Structure 1
């Protein structure tokens, strides 16, 4: 996608389109599952602090990561195979990249099976399942925070969850809008904007939002801003 935007060369081969579709779905699945694991990590850190090192042991993290990659690979392969079997009446994709909704629009035959898998597997297993897990984890987290007597302690504890909640809201809100809908309600012009949010804006915000929780990074950023402002003032004075 970056190559096409930079070169203004909008043609893409069928094999490259399929590869792009596979990796887009794969990485979206990885993001969904990792957000759920991060919610569990917050639950363990806040609700079970004395057992945190046992619950989130390095070996456990490796197993969770392996499970995420395996589930995402299977999910992506399933959709990719179902898309490949479709005959297409047109070869012009009205979208920024190869994705499921715009490709279904080009199909010459019924895409009922694709839509059922999209709702059933993607909507329930990859989308709704992790989201419910995240909500349950945060119910326990909020109940635990409310039991903290100190107002400063409650604020400090809740601040560790804010960054994660922001990413969850942006990613799930835009992702569900794009995928968990019947084919008849697709609006590709509108979906272009939404797809940019969860495929470009969310990954862009990830390092910014999570890194700004670190006090050393915040201090370094403030120092860099002050230094830049001072340099600009000196140039204006000259």
Structure 2
């Protein structure tokens, strides 16, 4: 199968490799779309401390289910459009037993520690596969993983209906958090962003924006002096 591969830091190639071999409890997906995450760029540039090379990157993927080997509790069918949680966990250690398999002692993230979705096919744990709902375009479904990050952030913030929110950073995750906060019932969502392009993108989605580099930033971001009920820091600064 054809893949994009990072042989080493700052090395990029297109290669043909063997198809993944399924073990019991694994599923094979034919990739249709795979998003480019900021972490993929960090890995390529050698800024990810745990990435392992050579590596097929990519963890934001959607595609067609080809095969399931072993148990299939979700009753997935070949041909289904599916997404997946992009990591392998043992299911046996203390964090896994406590429902926190995202911090499994043997955690391996697709596209970081093990081969990911920048390929024609990718294998995943069957129990981490989810069918894309009818009517959802697969291009949109490809951002399920970053959208899940945004949903998790808003849930953890305990944002209540009618409360206000400030999002610091208007990149992909910041925009998704703003969208989720608005959908969750926030009365006001403001995005602080220095990039003209990103501010315009946010405005096109109906959000009020401010530029922290403007001299009148303090007045514009907090005109009534009441502040915000919830602030999301998504700029990495």
Q: What's the TM-score once normalised by structure 1's chain length?
A: 0.26
More helix per residue? 1
Could you say which structure has the larger radius of gyration?
A: 1
Q: What's the TM-score once normalised by structure 2's chain length?
A: 0.26
More strand per residue? 2
